[in-house]
Amino acid sequence: KKKKLFFFFFFFFASVPTLEGGARGAGDWRPKMATMATVGEKLLAPVDSRHLRPCAGARCPHHRKPPAGEKQPHVPQGSWARGRVLRAIDPALTYSAAFAPSTVANLGPGFDLLGCAVEGRGDTVAAKPFELAGGAKSLEDRVVIESIEGDQGRLTLESKNNCAGIAAIETLRLIESECGALGKGAGVSLQLEKGLPLGSGLGSSAASAAAAAMATNVLFGSPLPKAKLVEAGIVSEAAVSGYHADNIAPAFLGGFVLVKSTKPLILEPLECPSDLWFVVVTPVFEAPTKEMRAVLPKEISMQLHIENTGACGELLLGIVQGNVKDIGHGLSSDTIVEPARAPLIPGFSAVKANAIEAGALGCTISGAGPTAVAVVESKEDGRAVLAAMKEAFTNEGNLEIQYADVVKLCKTGAKTV
């Protein structure tokens, strides 16, 4: 009996078609799974066919070769599409809205590989469905930007050239790739409310992209997990400021995020057991990311590399251990990027000195600047540091202040509102 059962199950499972080779049915044209981005050790899309429900191969209406002259139906690839009937995907709601927080990228020595989200200001995007008469010729046709507030008329309403529009387009692309074809006339209309100033160093473009991607995903019934949306956001970031994830990842996920790799995209959220307070001061001075990246050195000495690596190690260790003093000291010890950018921000050197003297544990440039960010142990300490930093920007940099606050680490990231 045991031998008979063994051979029965052996031949049964050997005959089941898989997505990555094995006994495929005749005429089975299903594509192999591709490795996708990961967050921590969790795969955003599976590469192991054992996670997927087996089908009938050539006998399956979604997987057999179509008759001559007909197109092959779209086959969803993600595990969240498992077992679903293939049908056109249309908006599930009549309205959705999402908010994404400001972010502090680099955190001193962690250039392009470390960032965090902070409470306070951010961007909000509302999404509504609209019907395209005659259907859509491209994904770009499916996204329109109805209005933008808070940008002083500087941002374009053309979706393919706006970071929020690009993020929405890429979200629709992911939905089609992972879950199935969109309805013939399904479109999205966006309304963007800018709460963050442009070129401030607080992740303005990332906040718009994250809010737009989340609002679009929610409008269609949230077919994609939140972490997957980072892929849409990073395409948007690449179009406006370069291919980096140290703003967009924490804008979506919240807290501290380590970018272990961008190709493939591998992110590691870092839990910080301590309550953190940040002093954020933004002067009226624009520092475009592309221009601030252009001043960075192409080569550095081995000594600078060693010192900066040590500072980054101290910062990372401080985060995971909840040691606020190590976080502050590590954040304040950048030897490569801050020295190159600081002279371009009027008064920054005085701002940093004033912050440390007033009790800050560390101070650096937020992202590409001009915002200065300091780490303090409490909100009470933060008030004194805030006043000292504002005074330095005003007296030494001759700059007005457009935003200043003492804020906590934002642990939630983008959210519906």
For residue 369, give the nearest of 82, 100, 111, 101 by alpha carbon.
111
Catalytic site positions: 237, 289
Beta carbons of 386 and 280 less than 8 angstroms apart: no
For residue 129, give the nearest of 115, 116, 146, 117 by alpha carbon.
146
The first and second tokens of residue 239, run together, are 């179009």
Beta carbons of 80 and 223 less than 8 angstroms apart: yes
Give the chain's end-to-end CA distance (angstroms, integer): 61
Rounded to a whole number of angstroms, the CA Rg of the chain reads 25
**Cα of 96 vs its chain's centroid, Å:** 19
- Side chain identity at 177, as an amino acid letter? S
Q: Which residues of 271-282 are buried (b: 16+ CB within 10 A; e: fewer)?
A: ebeeebbbbbbb
Contacts of 278 (CB under 8 A, 6+ apart): 104, 118, 373, 374, 375, 376, 382, 406, 407, 408, 409
Distances (CA, A) of 378 to 116, 314, 351: 18, 21, 19
For residue 290, give the nearest of 235, 368, 206, 202 by alpha carbon.
368
DSSP label at 49?
Answer: G
φ, ψ of residue 340 in degrees (nearest 5):
-80, -35
The first and second tokens of residue 194, run together, are 């800018």
C-alpha count within 13 angstroms, C-beta hemisphere, residue 218: 22
